[in-house]
Amino acid sequence: MNTQFDPPMANTGQNPADIFIRNADWLITVDPQRRIFTDGAVAISGDRIVAVGKTADLEPHHSSARIVIDARNRVVLPGLIDCHIHTAFQLARGLADEVSAQKFLFERMYPYEGLLSDEEGYWSASLCVLELLRNGVTTFIDAGNYTAAETARVVGETGVRCAIAKSGMDIAKSSFGSLPERFQETTERVLETEEETVKKWQGSYGGRVRPWFQFRGIPNSSDALVTRLKELADKYHTGVQTHACFSKETVEACKTQFGFTEIDRLRRLGVLGPNVLLVHAGWVSPHEFECLRTSGAKLVASPSSSLHNGYGNIVMGKIPELLEMGVSVGLGSDHASSGIVDLVQEMMLVTGVYKETRMNTTVLPPERVVEMATINGARCALWDDEIGSLEPGKKADVVLFNTRTPQWQPLYNPLANLVYSANGSSVDTVICDGKILMQGRDLKTMNEDAIYREVARLIPGILQKTKLEEKVRPKWPVL
């Protein structure tokens, strides 16, 4: 799936820029040398970065660019990468609070998603991408859903990039719970529909949409489904993802059904590899550490989700240790019904919770956390040859933060401010694939008011068919 690109030499003047970003107070490249430029500049031609460096060095070659962006009072970074987000769950915000992991899925989220129409899936994805974009995310990995075509359509319209997947499970009833009718499929049916999805969307929207395979939950997926989906992912040179070890209940369910813990089961099936993405992975057993390292499998941490649902991924999790072992770990918001859909805040949470649980202030410093949200995220998305850093030859995915806000002042170290005090509301400008999607907080490709109107129109129907209205009402008197 990854394409090779021979990057042009930087700063040759032979590639007239379409967009020239200059005078950036701080330009954080996350390149192999982890260079940070003061008074930095980026030149963009088409969908690619052609030069990165000091404004004084680049301006003589690129000052005649079609669009010049003055980045004074701005911090410039690669576009953020959200490695796990359920676009289909965006309209479920508030429907699954204060319930156990099992009830969260089988009494709230699965029934909701099982009744979701294509139209609702489209507007849910629209609202999700709106929130991601406003918070500086240019690439996301959709967690998999049953309206993948609607997610792809939204991505195509808005100009961001993503990995999509059609969800699949073939064990209708496990010790963890029973699936709604919509989710009950045979092994062959799951394989057929997921392969169709990959064939249909591969290379779509100029390559901004990349289709993956997915088995939704390990306890609800047979050995045959897991192994054959991995074979298909290898065949089509793409990724395969699954939720793994996100709660004590799933670990125990896997041991009860199959006799092994979740990651050990995947190891025994021979499916762990560099194109496998394991989401949450909080309840990883010590004997599973080494197989994660040697297999090259990628992990995603979703701190706000665990905090909201009490999964125990922070208390039991070993993200700092796995990172030190060289495992690629990205960050994910998970979804609106438990996460915060703001990757900037997820950065603060992931470092804060591990400092607290380890009682060690040096755990997960800002530099490591920014890597999780950029270059590590690109590795998780199997896209690190093109995104995740600001380098000549890479795709032009750039985000500018406005530092003329209280959360950014005083500004001694931009990495510290970004991780410890900022949030997505300070994102000023977003560029993806060389196109400006937001500038000065003004959206260029989305009609925000129209999205809010459609969401308001759909809410009553969602409450009616899920029959959750009484369960989600405030406990205090509503007059």
The whole-number pLDDT of residue 176 equals: 67
Q: Are residues 40 and 152 in the same domain?
A: no
256 in the same domain as 338: yes
Q: pLDDT (tens digit, 0 to 9) for every residue of the chain, 479 residues total?
A: 333 333 333 444 455 799 999 999 999 999 999 999 999 999 999 999 999 999 999 999 999 999 999 999 999 999 999 999 999 999 999 998 888 888 888 888 888 988 899 999 999 999 999 999 999 999 999 999 999 999 999 999 999 999 999 999 999 876 666 777 778 899 999 999 999 999 999 999 999 999 999 999 898 999 999 999 999 999 999 999 999 998 888 889 899 999 999 999 999 999 999 999 999 999 998 889 999 999 999 999 999 999 999 999 999 999 999 999 999 999 999 999 988 999 999 999 999 999 999 999 999 999 999 999 999 999 999 999 999 999 999 999 999 999 999 999 999 999 999 999 999 999 999 999 999 999 999 999 999 999 999 999 999 999 999 999 988 999 999 99
Residue 229 covered by a domain = yes
- Output b/e per residue, 114-127; b: 16+ Cβ within 10 A: bbbeeebbbbbbbb
pLDDT computed for residue 13 by the predictor: 43
Answer yes or no: is 455 within a domain: no
Question: Do 268 and 218 belong to one domain?
Answer: yes
Could you tell me the pTM of the whole model? 0.95
Beta bridge mates, 85 = 142, 334
pLDDT at 316: 94
Task: Show the domain range for 323.
Answer: 80-380
Q: Is residue 9 part of a domain?
A: no
The C-alpha atoms of residue 142 and residue 211 are separated, in whole angstroms, by 10
Place of tokens 């404004």: 55
Query: Is the preceding peptide bond at 410 cis, omega within 30 degrees of 0?
Result: yes
Q: In this structure, is residue 450 part of a structural domain?
A: no
Measure Cα distances from 307 to 27, 97, 212, 347 in Å.
32, 12, 28, 14
DSSP annotation of 104: I
Q: Do 418 and 371 fall within a single domain?
A: no
Q: What per-residue confidence (pLDDT) applies to 178? A: 72
Examine the domain organization and report whether 284 and 425 are in the same domain: no
Residue 407's Cβ-count burial label (10 Å; 0-12, 13-18, 19+) is middle
From CA 334, how far away is CA 324, in angstroms rounded?
24
The CATH number assigned to the domain holding 416 equals 2.30.40.10
Name which of 197, 189, 249, 173 is nearest 225 in CA terms: 189
Q: Same structural domain for residues 122 and 164?
A: yes
Do 133 and 80 touch, CB atoms closer than 8 A? no
d(CA 340, CA 132): 10
Structural element, H or E, at residue 256: helix 248-258
Q: Does residue 126 share a domain with residue 205?
A: yes
Task: Provide the CATH number for the domain around residue 369.
Answer: 3.20.20.140
CB atoms within 10 A of CB 98: 11
* 146 in any annotated domain: yes
CB 93 within 8 A of CB 390: no
Is residue 340 located within the same domain as residue 270? Answer: yes
Are 151 and 270 contained in the same domain?
Answer: yes
Are 82 and 141 within 8 A, CB to CB?
yes
- The contacts found for 407-415 with CB under 8 angstroms, 24 or more apart, are 408/75, 411/25, 411/26, 413/366, 414/25, 414/26, 414/28, 414/36, 414/75, 415/28, 415/366, 415/367, 415/370
* 35 lies in the same domain as 52: yes
Residue 467 within any structural domain of the chain: no
Q: Where are the alpha helices (DSSP H) in 284-328?
A: 289-295, 303-309, 313-316, 319-324
| End-of-domain residue from the set 380, 399, 416 | 380
Please indicate, yes or no, whether residues 58 and 110 belong to a single structural domain of this protein: no
Query: Residue 183's pLDDT is what?
Result: 80
Residue 393 maps to a domain: yes
Domain end marker among 328, 349, 380 = 380
Q: How far apart are CA 236 and CA 222, in angstroms?
A: 21
Please, are residues 346 and 333 in contact by the beta-carbon 8 Å criterion?
Answer: yes
Sign of CA dihedral 148, 153, 154, 158: positive
Place of tokens 């209708």: 172
Whether residue 173 sits in one domain with residue 34: no
Strands, E, within 124-233: which ranges?
Answer: 137-142, 161-165, 173-174, 177-178, 209-217
**Is residue 176 situated within a structural domain?**
yes
Number of compact structural domains in the chain? 2
b/e burial code for range 10-44 (CB count within 10 A of at least 16 → b):
bbeeebebbbbbbbbbbbbbbbeeebbbebbbbbb
